[in-house]
Amino acid sequence: MRFRSVRSAGTVPSRPTGTGGWVAGGGLWAEPPGSGAEVGCHSRYAGGVAVVDVSEELKSLSSTMESIEAVLDLDAMRADIAVLEEQAAAPSLWDDPDEAQKITSKLARLQAEVRKAEVLRGRIDDLAVLFEMAEEEDDPDTRAEAESELASVKRALDEMEVRTLLSGEYDAREALVNIRAEAGGVDAADFAEKLQRMYLRWAEQHGYKTELIETSYAEEAGIKSTTFSVQVPYAYGTLSVEQGTHRLVRISPYDNQGRRQTSFAGVEVLPVVEQTDHIEIDESELRVDVYRSSGPGGQGVNTTDSAVRLTHLPTGIVVSCQNERSQIQNKATAMNVLQARLLERRRQEEQAKMDALKGDGGNSWGNQMRSYVLHPYQMVKDLRTEFEVGNPEAVFNGEIDGFLEAGIRWRKQQEK
């Protein structure tokens, strides 16, 4: 039996022909086995509704999942998990803390990846059952559930397909995101805060844990800079395509004459450092300053000098942290961020050497990469991928998956 979901359409001529029949309630058109009716992802019309054949669509989803499973090599991953579980159960595991951290971290990541693939495979297999129930029960709610699950599975499959493109050295890491206001005065500070909210909303919508590490507030409005972490595997690989200069064009709410203003904000994305990275920092190379934490408008939020600013003297890198409760905690968090920046600096130096050997300049992530235009028209456009959305409000509310997917695919193309 093949199943066809019914969706609204405009004025159309006639119902399907053939030996099949309408399922009671008009939700599905079913054709008996061996009817010889053509199968495909096509539409027919009856009574103002489109009858969409979903059988081929379900086959296509299953085929795509098979390709993803082949790329991920789930059998090899399960074998690795078995070895790691044996190592993790060894009584001597924590005799070497660095090696123990490496084993447990890799084990947790592989288990999560296999579990996600297995759950998605189960959902794909269950779709046919859902559509069968919709036919047998003649239940509008079941039909709606089947349609909703089909759309949800397609989104999850797209996301997992993109995940297979994240194969860089640090792509599986969690991420540190730093946003800073650049040219544009108070509008740039306001823009930086909008970007902070955009990424935090995106993480929230996906159920990803985030932690605010440091925010430096501007005097009139917005923020000078902010740093936060996104604590989920592959956060770095996903968000690293956001690195670069973002541009906002709008009628400034801070301009008394209501003129159009252009402002800029920079986004930096770093992989979270793991204990096995061995980023050594000599205390003699650090300057440590302590000060009182401050909130919006410069107001104090702490009565003690708990905030910490670290300056790495050889490189001039400066890191601040004020969101932890004690000076010791703030210093530890700031050290983690400093290590991440030094790791990224080392990665960039190695990449520059490779680019020099290849005879090209590589990718310049510091260049302008996306425009957010609110006036005289409304459009958000990625200047590398040319992916665009005509609803800036939705983008600022965290709906950036399209940009992330396009960016990841574009980056993979550049590597070829």
Please tell me whether residue 220 adopts helix, strand or coil conformation.
Answer: coil
Q: Which range scores top for mean pLDDT: 10-24, 232-246, 324-338?
A: 232-246
From first CA to last CA, the distance across the chain in angstroms is: 44
- pLDDT tens profile 296-345: 655 555 556 789 999 999 999 999 998 887 899 999 899 989 999 998 88
Pairwise CA distance, residues 25 & 14, whole Å: 17
β-sheet bridge partners, residue 370: 246, 382
pLDDT value, residue 364: 38
| pLDDT band for position 52 (cuts 50, 70, 90) | low
Give yes or no for residue 2 having a pLDDT over 70: no
Give yes or no for residue 274 having a pLDDT over 60: yes
The model's pTM: 0.68
Beta strands (DSSP E) in 252-409 are 260-271, 286-291, 307-312, 317-321, 368-373, 379-382, 388-389
Pairwise CA distance, residues 385 & 391, whole Å: 17
Q: Which of 78, 22, 80, 25 is nearest to 51 (CA)?
A: 22
Please check whether residue 127 is in contact with residue 150, taking contact to mean a CB–CB distance below 8 angstroms. yes
pLDDT value, residue 414: 86
Give the H or E element holding residue 64: helix 55-72
Owner of token pair 């939705």: 394
Beta strands (DSSP E) in 292-334 are 307-312, 317-321
The Cβ of residue 411 has, within 10 Å, a number of other Cβ atoms equal to 18
Give yes or no for residue 211 having a pLDDT over 50: yes
| pLDDT band for position 97 (cuts 50, 70, 90) | confident
Structure-token pair, residue 310: 């670290």
Q: Which of 137, 132, 133, 138 is nearest to 27 (CA)?
A: 138
Pairwise CA distance, residues 267 & 240, whole Å: 9
Q: Which of 357, 376, 355 is nearest to 365 (CA)?
A: 355
Q: Give the list of residues 6+ apart from residue 259 with CB closer than 8 angstroms, or none.
A: 251, 252
Pairwise CA distance, residues 100 & 152, whole Å: 37
Sheet holding 317-321, edge to edge: 286-291, 307-312, 317-321
Give yes or no for residue 286 having a pLDDT over 80: yes
Mean predicted confidence (pLDDT) in 199-220 = 94
Owner of token pair 């059988």: 55
- pLDDT tens profile 112-170: 899 999 999 999 999 988 988 888 888 888 888 999 999 999 989 988 988 889 988 88
Give yes or no for residue 191 having a pLDDT over 50: yes
| Percent of the chain's residues with pLDDT above 90 | 55
pLDDT value, residue 399: 97
pLDDT value, residue 55: 82
pLDDT value, residue 137: 83
pLDDT value, residue 228: 96
Mean predicted confidence (pLDDT) in 383-401 = 97
Lowest-confidence region among 34-38, 83-87, 291-295, 315-319: 34-38
Pairwise CA distance, residues 20 & 265, whole Å: 60
| Percent of the chain's residues with pLDDT above 70 | 80
Pairing outcome for strands 223-231 and 175-181: antiparallel
Give yes or no for residue 25 having a pLDDT over 70: no
Structure-token pair, residue 247: 């541009």
Lowest-confidence region among 20-29, 136-145, 181-190, 264-273: 20-29
pLDDT value, residue 410: 94
pLDDT value, residue 280: 81
Give yes or no for residue 261 having a pLDDT over 50: yes
Domains and CATH numbers, the chain: 4-53 (no CATH), 56-163 (1.20.58.410), 169-416 (3.30.70.1660)
β-sheet bridge partners, residue 294: 300
Pairwise CA distance, residues 173 & 106, whole Å: 10
Q: Is 65 exposed, middle or buried (0-12, 13-18, 19+ CB in 10 A)?
A: buried
Structure-token pair, residue 297: 């408008």
Helix ranges (H only) for 207-304 are 235-239
Structure-token pair, residue 387: 């992916």
Pairwise CA distance, residues 398 & 343, whole Å: 28
Between residues 4 and 105, the one the model is more confident about: 105
- pLDDT tens profile 126-139: 998 898 888 888 88
Average pLDDT, the chain: 83
Sign of CA dihedral 187, 180, 304, 314: negative
Lowest-confidence region among 53-67, 101-115, 300-314: 300-314
Q: Which range scores top for mean pLDDT: 45-49, 67-71, 222-226?
A: 222-226
Mean predicted confidence (pLDDT) in 224-243 = 94
Mean predicted confidence (pLDDT) in 348-363 = 59
